Amino acid sequence: MVATIGVHRAPFFIDVSPDGKRAYVANSGSANLSVIDLEQRKVLNYISTGNGSNLARVTPDGKLAIVALRDEDAIAVVDVEKLAVRSKVKICAKPVEMAIVPDSSKVFVACSESKQVGVVELKSDKDDKSADKLLTLLDVGKTPIHLVAKPDGGEVFVCNYDGSSVSALTTNSNEVSNTFPIGDRPARALVAPDNSLLYVANFGSDSVAVYNIDTGRWISSVTVGNHPEGLVFSPNQLHLLVVNTGSGDMTVLSLIGENSKGRPRREAPSLETMIPLGKDPRAIVVKAFVSQR
């Protein structure tokens, strides 16, 4: 432990800017956003955002922070250079999660109580409030709680927790292209770096399902620990690490092997080991180690 940084009441989630210099924490009990200087390890400012500020996401270009306002059925768009709210956009009931496309032009917002995803246009090169507007509301499955975008930005996938399904959204046309069953209570999803496969942690069935994005078909599933939730690839992308909230451990799934084209075989991961963690682990991140000369 190298530092403890105090924020405000009931911090729920932390996101880091693309350059790694700042962190943004939505304080759900204080209706504000903490902006943290990670080099100095101190809070630079508190920005009043709105009631139920339960999640903050930074755009890939690093110019904006988007805050979900659960109690206002809206999002706040924060200009991180000016450290001020640029606009608020009303969307749908109880926004809980967001996915921003790679070019920072749109944010997709999952609303857990309306079976909808709001699509909001962002113009990071403008200052006026008209730069941010709701484009459409998309009907998905019951209780959408998590979103993940493909690395190429072409699609966003929605985990419909109580619908036991995943919805695929096409980002250029803002449409639902497909909704498919995936397992009991999907909680989190992860897209392979080559955009070909979707891995889904099924909280209710204690498994990780694999879905082929190119063919639109379920491929396989593997049993992990109790109530899997967080997912991440190892830095070399040869393992999938799964955090199991119920059993307090981490499942290591092997993706090692080659397919007919000589590429890593990721369609049918195999259980390699289980690592004890602690009580109720929910999320995981991996540091990417880069050698420097």
Which of 58-67, 132-141, 249-258 is the least confident region? 249-258
pLDDT of 265: 58
Taken in order of first residue, the domains within the chain and their CATH numbers are 1-138 (2.130.10.10), 182-293 (2.130.10.10)
Residue 289: band (very low, low, confident or very high) from pLDDT cuts 50, 70, 90? low
pLDDT at residue 292, as a whole number: 47
Q: How confident is the model over 154-209, as pLDDT tens digits?
A: 999 999 999 999 999 999 999 999 999 999 999 999 999 999 999 999 999 999 99
Q: Could you give the strand order of the β-sheet that contains 217-223, starting from the edge strand earlier in sequence? A: 186-191, 197-202, 207-212, 217-223
Q: How far apart are CA 21 and CA 150, in angstroms?
A: 25
Q: What is the mean pLDDT of the chain?
A: 91
Mean pLDDT throughout 54-61?
Answer: 94
Read off the pLDDT of residues 5-29 as tens digits, 9 standing for 90 and up. 999 999 988 999 999 999 999 999 9
- 34-52 exposure pattern, b = at least 16 Cβ within 10 A, e = fewer: bbbeeeeeebeebbebbeb
Considering just the CA atoms, what is the radius of gyration of the chain in Å?
19
Helix, strand or coil, per DSSP, at residue 162? helix
Element (H, E) at 129: none
The predicted structure's pLDDT at residue 290: 52
Q: Which residues pair with 228 in a beta bridge?
A: 244
Instruction: Summarize pLDDT for 213-246 with one digit per residue, the tens.
Output: 999 999 999 999 999 999 999 988 889 999 999 9
Q: What pLDDT does 291 receive?
A: 46
Query: Encoding tokens for residue 110?
Result: 């999952």
Cβ atoms of 160 and 166 within 8 Å: the answer is yes
Tokens 């926004």 belong to residue: 95
Extract the tokens encoding 152: 């190429």
Q: Is the pLDDT of residue 131 over 80?
A: no
